[in-house]
Amino acid sequence: MNVLGIETTCDETAISVVRNGVEILSNVISSQSDYHRQFNGVYPEMAARQHVDLLIPTLEEALTEAKVTKSEIDLIAVAKGPGLIGPLLIGLNGAKTLSLAWNVPLIGVNHVEAHLYGAMMSNQSFLFPSLGVVISGGHTFLVKISSVGNYELIGTTVDDAIGEAFDKVATLLDLPYPGGPEIEKLAKEGNPTAFPFKAGKVKKHPFDFSFSGLKTNVLYAIKGQNGLKENASLISEEEKKDVAASFQEVALGDICEKAAKASQIFCSRAIYIGGGVSQNKRLREMLDAKNLSCPIYWPKRDLCLDNGAMIAGLGLHLFQQKGEGDPLSLEPQTRIPMS
Ligand code: KG4
Ligand code: ZN
């Protein structure tokens, strides 16, 4: 089956054609990050407008690259949430229109689950029970996966998502959006033990995350104890490298520590990692260094950030499980509980 996957939850207009759930025929990602850089983050209203402009050209490119015509598409999968309401509406209405015009079924997909499916389809491995680790700009989740579609929440963030913390610290260091790759680059030249930053703890919830205290540690290190975000930096360019390295080490160390513990306690047969922060090479080194007894599966490079392939892949799985598509009345959901 050829599945068209449409992703517009945030600032990537991404469309892909995937055959039989794993064979990626095309994976076109029209990123808006250059546009949103001027706002130091995603401007939701403008993201929706950009999706309107980019949807049809991205679709045409995805079909051409896949060497597939519209009559060869058997299913349309679309990210129904969680995400920004304006962007979600554009993707969902586009998908519904195509479903109606081409007379093919439609299936709505949870974007966060799709990130985990990205690691499964990259490696063509399905081992359960497993631990899912979602680390992106909008989400930080540890989940126990019993099968595709069956998740139990183990831990989440009580404030910022991990990628959001990277983006905010990057702003404090005068680095452009998106900040994650910029911090990783700067951190390579810094000393990760130079600043004694601490990971956040959440009382009685050992697998939950909190990054706001760590972010304040960084703010004070850069702008002094009474420093405000808009105040000038008090540290040198050299010290900025140490701040980036120290922040990254603590934030990623916290993810690794909790993921390693959870995988042992829940007897996971595998760990699947998904979301934009999974691109970070230092994270891969740190988790590998834990020498865990189960394999760790990472998404391939094009499947780390938001993309349509993970939506198409999971979409086929859900369609086969349900035995039918979703109605055209399918609604966007800005939040979806992870269970
Ligand atoms: O999964 P994604 O494309 O979007 C959401 O679903 O949120 O993730 C984007 C996030 C951004 O916060 C970005 O800064 C972060 O992933 N990111 C990274 C790296 N590359 C992207 N964070 C740390 N290190 C990286 N190399
Ligand atoms: Zn995402």
153-202 per-position pLDDT tens digit? 999 999 999 999 999 999 999 999 999 999 999 999 999 999 999 999 99
Q: Which CATH architecture has domain 128-294?
A: 2-Layer Sandwich (3.30)
Q: Which ligand lies nearest the alpha carbon of 47?
A: 1
166 pocket-lining for ligand 1 (C-beta < 6 Å)? yes
**The pLDDT of residue 337:** 84
What is the pTM for the complete model shown?
0.94
- Could you tell me the two tokens for 125? 């491995």
The answer as to CATH 3.30.420.40 being correct for domain 2-115+303-322 is yes
Q: Is 233 exposed, middle or buried (0-12, 13-18, 19+ CB in 10 A)?
A: middle
**The pLDDT of residue 105:** 98
**Residue 7 is inside which H or E element, if any?**
strand 2-7
**The pLDDT of residue 41:** 86
The DSSP letter of residue 210 is: -
CA-wise closest residue to 209 among 162, 263, 250, 260: 162
Tell me how far apart the alpha carbons of residues 147 and 108 are, in angstroms, rounded to a whole number.
18
- Same fold: 2-115+303-322 with 128-294: yes
180 pocket-lining for ligand 1 (C-beta < 6 Å)? yes
**The pLDDT of residue 227:** 77
Please give the number of the atom of ligand 1 that sits closest to the Cα of 248: 23
- Parallel, antiparallel or unpaired: strands 75-81 and 106-110: parallel
254 pocket-lining for ligand 1 (C-beta < 6 Å)? no
Show the low-confidence residues of the chain (pLDDT under 70): 339
Locate the domains of the chain by residue range.
2-115+303-322, 128-294
**The pLDDT of residue 289:** 96
The residues near 103 (Cβ < 8 Å, ≥ 6 apart) are none
**The pLDDT of residue 124:** 87
Ligand 1, atom 8: nearest CA belongs to which residue?
276
Q: Is 39 exposed, middle or buried (0-12, 13-18, 19+ CB in 10 A)?
A: exposed
C-alpha 95 – ligand 2 centre gap (Å): 19
Q: Which ligand lies nearest the alpha carbon of 248?
A: 1
> What does each C-alpha distance from 268 to 58, 220, 339 come to in angstroms?
38, 39, 17
